[in-house]
Structure formats: C-alpha cells, structure tokens
Amino acid sequence: MLNKNAHLVENLFDSNITKKPTRDGFGSGVVEAGRANSNVVVLCADLSESTRAQWFEKEFPERFVEVGIAEQNMAALAAGFFAAGKVPFIASYAAFNPGRNYEQIRTTIALNESNVKVCGMHAGVSVGPDGATHQMLEDLGLMRMLPHMTVINPADAIEAHKAVIAAAAMTGPVYLRFARSASPVFTTDETPFEIGKALTLWESEKPQVAILATGPMSYRAVTAASALESEGIGSIVLNIHTIKPLDNKAVIEAARRTGNVITVEEHQAAGGFGSAIAELLVREYPVPMRIMGIQDVFGQSGEPDELLEYYGLGAPHIKDVARAFLEKH
C-alpha cells in the first residue's frame, strides 16, 4: 500500500494542480473571521495589496487601519485594540513584522499575552527577486522563542484560510507565516485542521524514515516520499503546520516507528522548525536526525523555484538526502 492517507489530500501529482500563494488564504480567512466576529480588526503597514489585507479593507473599511510604514506603532496599536476588546490582526512582510517590530511584539504583545495575531507575509525565499533584504529566514526562530506565542506555518492556501479562522477563535498571541509565491493547493475543505495537531500526509506500509515538514515544503516532502516509494523506501510524512505548540505525540510516534527523522523548512536550519523537533526528540526519544533548511546564509534574488533548488530544498534533494541518510544510519 503506497499511502494510507491519500483521502486527506487530492491531486497530489496532477501536473495541472492549482497553485495559489498562502497569503491568499490569509485574505479570504480574515474576511470570514471578520464576518463571524465584529471585533476582528486588521492593521496594515502600507502593504495592504501585497499582504491581501486589502480584501478585508474592502469588506470592512470601518475596521481597517492603515498605519503607514510604522511597524513598531502597528504592534503597539494592536495591543491597545486588544485592551479595548478587539481581535487585531497586524499584517506586513515578515522581514518587517516581526523583523522590524520584534521588541514591540515581545513586550506589548507576548509579555502581556495580548490577543493579537501577527501575520508575516512574503516569508522565506519564495519572495524571489526581492532578494536577501526581504527574504525573511529567521522569523520562526524569533517567534517560537517568545513565551505565550503560538506559531503557525500553513502548507497551502486552503490550510492558511483555516489557520486564520482558528487563530481568530483562540485567545492569545499568534504568529502566522505566509508566502508570496504560488504553491500547490493539495489539501481540501474537508482536510482536518486543528492548531497543535500534525497531519499525516503519507504513510507507507513499512516506513523507514519520517519526513517532517512545515509550510509549502510539505508538498515537496510528500512528492519526495512518492519517489522514495518507487525505489522501495517507505516513509511517513507529517505536515506540521503548528510549530508551537508542537504535536509531541505525533512526532515521537513517527520517530519511534521509523528510527530516523528528517525535517524540512524554508528557513534557517538553525533555531527554527528543525531545532524545535530536535529539542523534543533529544529529550523524549533520541534518534538519528537531519535538518534540511537554509544553511547559515542569507537569500539572494532569483525565481522562487530556482532558489529552492539552489538551496537544496526541492523534492529531488529531499529524496536524495533521505536515501543517503538511511544508507548511513
């Protein structure tokens, strides 16, 4: 049996698969959240079109605040909106939010457990030609280290939509990460989504390696799993959209069943998603592990897919790393 969980996703290997940026899921999700709760407000730092906050502005102009190029003020204002009973979402590029306003997020939002949802757009190298200054590769590490902060990195536009609605419904600070470039939409409206619960995308009959992925890299991970299967190598693929809190049970079970773990992220290999997994496993269930991510360099200008290949994060690279890892361990 190739994949016990094929019913959770669709058209995984269809050459005509729909592609959308996860930021579109933010745009549609925050509008739906606004319809459900009149206290939802959106603040944006002069990037309403790029972040898709404009979709909320058109629907609820009286609940939209354009703060201009003032990300620090945006975070502090959002904490004030929370104190007045609102549910604020703050949106800008991840390089600026949390990159530029980290101190305000730390002190006025996380420290005070303010019910503010921090939305970092254009994260990772997927922002492409904008280059190193705008390719935020450190945000997951920054945000997961903050006490009280929930950290979510959705895999596709549909999951991003669900993540925004779930974040609006929970109480407490949340960081949501979104990409600029279009990526395959492979989950469905019926695919389960719950904050803190990993989703098994692929499960071979006799798995030898667990590939744990986050964000749009989850699609590349499951593509690699299919290629490994054709070579007689079974695997488990988890889409771990919630980096904090981790689904400890699912991660430890995948490690226990396979004895080998590889993590994949469009982020610095140091301090991010893979580090969170390593911290859990070294404490609870140590196994051989490899972290795939950006290896201590800044990004550069280029087309998104070309950059992912350049940095060794394409599906063929994941497959080759997994095969070599098994040969070694």
**End-to-end Cα, the chain, rounded Å:** 25
The pair of three-digit structure tokens given for residue 294, joined into one six-digit string: 């950006």
**Dihedral, 152, 154, 157, 160 alpha carbons, nearest 10:** -20
Distance CA 51, CA 152 (A): 17
Radius of gyration of the CA atoms of the chain, in A:
19
| 57 is annotated as an active-site residue | no
Distance CA 289, CA 314 (A): 19
Quick check: 41 and 63 in contact, CB under 8 A? yes
Which DSSP state fits 272? Answer: S
Distance of CA 196 to the CA centre of its chain: 12
Q: Tokens 């949340």 label which residue?
A: 174
Which entry of 49, 62, 66, 71 is annotated as an active-site residue? 71
Of 22, 16, 56, the closest CA to residue 40 belongs to 56
Distance of CA 230 to the CA centre of its chain: 28
Any alpha helices (H) in the chain, and if so which ranges? Answer: 22-36, 48-51, 53-59, 71-83, 102-104, 139-144, 157-169, 217-230, 248-258, 273-284, 304-310, 315-328
| Residue numbers annotated as active site | 71
